[in-house]
Amino acid sequence: MTDTTSNQMWGGRFSAGPDAIMEAINASIGFDKRLAAQDIAGSRAHAAMLAAQDIVTDSDARAILEGLEQVLAEINDGSFTFSTRLEDIHMNIEARLKDMIGEPAGRLHTARSRNDQVATDFKLWVRDQFDAFESGLIALIKALLAQALAGFDWVMPGFTHLQTAQPVTWGHHLMAYVEMLGRDLSRVRDARKRMNECPLGAAALAGTSFPIDRHMTAAALGFDQPAANSLDAVSDRDFALDFLSCASICAMHLSRFAEELVIWSSAQFRFVRMSDRWSTGSSIMPQKRNPDAAELVRAKIGRIFGANVALMTIMKGLPLAYSKDMQEDKEQVFDAADNLMLALAAMVGMVGDMTADRTALHGAANSGFATATDLADWLVRALGLPFREAHHVTGALVAMAEGQGCDLQDLTLEQMQTAHGEITAAVFDVLGVEQSVASRTSYGGTAPAQVLVQIRRWEAILK
């Protein structure tokens, strides 16, 4: 293709070309070439609208549309040559189109600017990422549901402060992450709906005097409507910030779960075994199974958080409308999207392949005085003690068991009665971990029947 190095396409105003440093700082083709398909889609919609409004002839529109198809084919097959001297994806495509079809290519830019063009391209790209984001979330939710259903009644310790608190079920624990990801799914869908307004036709910042039909181009590109204010249309990057915000919150959830997988798969816990597909060995310690995939998911989250902060910082001081600072928006979003999709895919694989150890889970639930709260509740219900007194009695019994190196259910009735003389043998009915989880029947509780209710609810939601 022709490289117009002597006279920039926006030239006429400037007689000398930029020096190498200016060219390097000004060019964005190195990263915005990822917008090629969206740029061509926007140009096709614009050309069709120009012809429909008699702004360009039908023959010119046909030449433009056919030429754009050829350009896209070259980009897809790798034969297209990208030039930094042409600055960005828009100029690169327009220059190649001119090589192919000549004068009609110059009519394509009628009634638009690179400002509304790039805003449209970027919105189309981010919208595609929202769709991929949604698919990834649904896949992970389904993987969690399958694991939760398989172990809906398996008892494990629940933690606060990473200390044993009360027994819960494996299914209940995994369903907590389903709820988190469900909120992520809601945010993604809400943000996608909010962003679906088309900037095309806002031109540089003030609209255009040509009799364009913005509703036609918006509909052709799958937008709900045109953006209502031309200044806002070209300067808005809220849609990208929405994406990064949704990505950051989801990434935080993924990191929390990745952290648990790292802990659970350790020799000290042995709650889960990660498959060989998601583990690595040590170069010198043959016994090691390192949860590297989970650790990398946990680490990549920092890049997503960083992208969110970076774009917020770029946008925070910009007056209306467009400023060149906004060229720095795309690399942040591209990198965040790449790492988010990779983290989601890895987590889907890890959850699908991991094997929970029911025996280890149950053994851990039986340690750490996990049923102490059940004992206190029994003292309130059976003996009518105020909860604060019941808490005190239970604390004394925990101290006694700890001193003897046993758990609460291993104490004798006589030993228990030294803490409160009215305790009866019925207390032992509540000290088993199975009885504990079965008793938590409040809506959203850990009782297996309640866990099944939530699993079925989510299965219905996803249908």
Sole residue written with tokens 């305790």: 423
Token pair belonging to 46? 């614009």
Query: Distance between CA atoms of 74 and 85, rounded to whole angstroms?
Result: 19
CB-based contacts of 315, cutoff 8 Å, min separation 6: 237, 241, 325, 326, 329
pLDDT score of 2 more than 70: no
pTM: 0.87
Q: What is the pLDDT of residue 285?
A: 52
Enumerate the H helices of 102-169 as residue ranges.
Answer: 114-150
pLDDT score of 408 more than 80: yes
Q: Exposed e or buried b for every residue in 271-306, given b needs 16+ CB within 10 A?
A: bbbbeeebbeeeeeeeeebebebbebbbebbebbbe
Query: Distance between CA atoms of 142 and 136, rounded to whole angstroms?
Result: 10
Given a contact cutoff of 8 angstroms between Cβ atoms, the answer to whether 333 and 307 are in contact is yes
SS3 357: coil
Q: How many CB atoms neighbour CB 113 within 10 A? A: 19
Given a contact cutoff of 8 angstroms between Cβ atoms, the answer to whether 401 and 369 are in contact is yes
Q: Residue range 136-163: average pLDDT?
A: 96
**Count of positions (residues) in the chain:** 463
Given a contact cutoff of 8 angstroms between Cβ atoms, the answer to whether 169 and 238 are in contact is no
Q: Residue range 268-289: average pLDDT?
A: 71
Given a contact cutoff of 8 angstroms between Cβ atoms, the answer to whether 174 and 147 are in contact is yes
pLDDT score of 286 more than 70: no
Query: Distance between CA atoms of 218 and 120, rounded to whole angstroms?
Result: 10
- Name, of 145-149, 299-303, 402-406, the range with top average pLDDT: 145-149
pLDDT score of 283 more than 50: no
Token pair belonging to 433? 């971990």
Q: What is the pLDDT of residue 190?
A: 98
pLDDT score of 282 more than 60: no
Choose, from 186, 282, 323, 367, the residue flagged as catalytic: 282
Choose, from 6, 15, 79, 161, the residue flagged as catalytic: 161
pLDDT score of 326 more than 50: yes
- Which whole-number Å values give the CA distances from 54 to 35, 47, 48, 68, 202, in the listed order? 28, 11, 10, 20, 19
**What is the separation, in whole angstroms, between the first and last Cα of the chain?**
50
Active site residue 391: no
Active site residue 248: no
Query: Distance between CA atoms of 343 and 136, rounded to whole angstroms?
Result: 10
Kindly report the average pLDDT of the chain as a whole number. 91
Q: Give the strand pairing for 272-273 and 355-356.
A: antiparallel
Type of residue at 458: W
Q: What is the pLDDT of residue 12?
A: 57
Q: What is the pLDDT of residue 6?
A: 42
Q: Residue range 151-158: average pLDDT?
A: 95
Query: Distance between CA atoms of 32 and 91, rounded to whole angstroms?
Result: 11
Q: Tell me which DSSP letter residue 197 carries.
A: E
- Helix 170-195 to helix 238-264 angle (10° resolution) is 170
Q: Exposed, middle or buried by CB within 10 Å (0-12, 13-18, 19+), for 405? A: exposed
Query: Distance between CA atoms of 423 and 426, rounded to whole angstroms?
Result: 8
Q: Give the strand pairing for 225-226 and 272-273.
A: unpaired
- Which whole-number Å values give the CA distances from 376 to 336, 388, 403, in the listed order? 48, 9, 19
CB-based contacts of 332, cutoff 8 Å, min separation 6: 240, 244, 306, 307, 310, 311, 314
Q: What is the pLDDT of residues 369-386, one digit of tens each?
A: 777 888 898 899 889 999
Given a contact cutoff of 8 angstroms between Cβ atoms, the answer to whether 300 and 339 are in contact is yes
Minimal CA–CA distance to 261: which of 291, 300, 288, 281?
291
Given a contact cutoff of 8 angstroms between Cβ atoms, the answer to whether 192 and 131 are in contact is yes
CA 212 centroid distance within chain: 37
pLDDT score of 3 more than 50: no
Q: What is the pLDDT of residues 74-96, one digit of tens each?
A: 999 999 999 988 888 999 999 99
Q: Exposed, middle or buried by CB within 10 Å (0-12, 13-18, 19+), for 260? A: middle
Given a contact cutoff of 8 angstroms between Cβ atoms, the answer to whether 21 and 176 are in contact is no
Q: How many CB atoms neighbour CB 190 within 10 A? A: 12
